[in-house]
């Protein structure tokens, strides 16, 4: 079995991991600022109470909820407003619906929920679809009829390798 679209798939995967760095960075900052604010305003910055907040199970639940909310918000707003996320922007990709850049809010939100289906509910199998599909679409692309393609005017190809000089003077 020959894998398809490996260049596009690897570029999309790299963009997704860059986006996860952004989302998890936001989660860490949100959690840190929330714990600091709670500790300072409620307990006057008492070191022992701050440690208790960090080790409390409710802090873990808050972190999970923050992760889900920030993940959905980040992908929804980025695809709706910009037509791409930070990772896709860095790697020269954009999300399209029927050939048009950018998505409506509900399609963007549906695509964000689709990330959970592609990743969590299918144990990541939904992200592997592009390896076996001619059109290179993932499960979440199929769910909301979107596609990820190079930004207008850009080729999706690796640069040609530099030619080695033969060592002879011309």
Q: Does residue 155 sit within a domain?
A: no
Q: Total structural domains in the chain? A: 1
Looking at the domain assignment, is residue 115 inside a domain? yes
Measured CA to CA, the distance from residue 13 to residue 101 in angstroms comes to 20
Alpha carbon distance 102, 79 (integer Å): 6
For residue 157, being part of any structural domain is answered with no
Which pLDDT score, from 0 to 100, does residue 72 have? Answer: 94
B/e letters for 50-65, b = 16+ CB within 10 Å, e = fewer, are: beebeeeeebeebbee
Confidence at residue 55, expressed as pLDDT on a 0 to 100 scale: 87
Q: Does a structural domain hold residue 136?
A: yes
CA atoms within 13 A on the CB side of 61: 3
Structural domain for 32, as ranges:
6-150
Residue 153, pLDDT score? 62
Asked if residue 5 lies in contact with residue 136, where contact means CB atoms within 8 angstroms, the answer is yes
Residue 166 lies in a domain: no
Segments of the chain with pLDDT less than 70: 1-5, 153-170
pLDDT of residue 49: 83
With respect to residue 90, please indicate whether it lies within any of the assigned structural domains.
yes
Residue 1 falls inside a structural domain: no
Q: How does 101-134 read in b/e, with b if 16+ C-beta sit within 10 Å?
A: ebbeeebbbbbbbbbeebbeeeeeebbbbbbebe
Q: How far is CA 114 from CA 26, 71, 108, 119, 137, in A?
A: 21, 12, 10, 8, 12
What does the pLDDT read at residue 111? 94
Residue 82 lies in a domain: yes
């Amino acid at each position: 079995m020959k894998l398809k679209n490996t260049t596009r798939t690897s570029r999309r995967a790299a963009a997704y991991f860059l986006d996860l760095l952004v989302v998890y960075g936001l989660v860490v900052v949100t959690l840190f600022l929330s714990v600091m604010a709670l500790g300072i305003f409620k307990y006057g910055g008492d070191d022992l109470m701050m440690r208790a907040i960090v080790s409390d199970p409710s802090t873990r639940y808050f972190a999970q909820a923050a992760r889900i909310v920030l993940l959905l918000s980040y992908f929804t707003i980025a695809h709706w407003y910009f037509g791409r996320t930070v990772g896709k922007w860095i790697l020269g990709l954009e999300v399209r619906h029927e050939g048009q850049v950018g998505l409506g809010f509900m399609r963007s939100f549906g695509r964000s929920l689709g990330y959970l289906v592609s990743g969590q509910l299918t144990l990541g199998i939904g992200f592997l679809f592009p390896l076996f599909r001619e059109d290179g679409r993932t499960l979440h692309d199929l769910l909301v009829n979107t596609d990820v393609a190079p930004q207008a005017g850009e080729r999706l190809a690796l640069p040609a390798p530099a030619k080695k000089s033969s060592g002879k003077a011309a």
